[in-house]
Amino acid sequence: MPAPATFKLPDDCSIRTIRTLHGDLGAAFARTSDLTLDCGDVARADIAFVQLVVSAAGTASRQAKSVRLAHVPEVVLTAFRRSGVSPERLDCPVS
């Protein structure tokens, strides 16, 4: 298996950038089975970002891979709370 990898998320993880982010995240996942999403620079997140993480967690589970969130700012936690989704319930640990 490829080594664990970290994917540094951009400051804008909203509907405006989600298409590019989806492609970049897919490419990162293709290179590893253990992916950490570094949220440290995220200043904007919305439901589109939450949906992307939910999808990534589901894909990871189906493919026996793992995804986790790291350096999670309040803006990301707020997006999850507003959507009614807990990252912990996605088998997507937050560190």
In the chain, where are the structural domains located? Answer: 5-90
Instruction: Tell me the pLDDT of the chain averaged across its residues.
Output: 90
- Predicted pLDDT at 88: 73
DSSP string, the chain: -PPPEEEE--SEESTTTHHHHHHHHHHHHHT-SEEEEE-TT--EE-HHHHHHHHHHHHHHHHTT-EEEEES--HHHHHHHHHHT--GGGGT--B-
**Mean pLDDT (whole number) for 50-75:** 92
**Would you say residue 47 has pLDDT above 90?**
yes
**CATH class of the domain at 5-90:** alpha beta
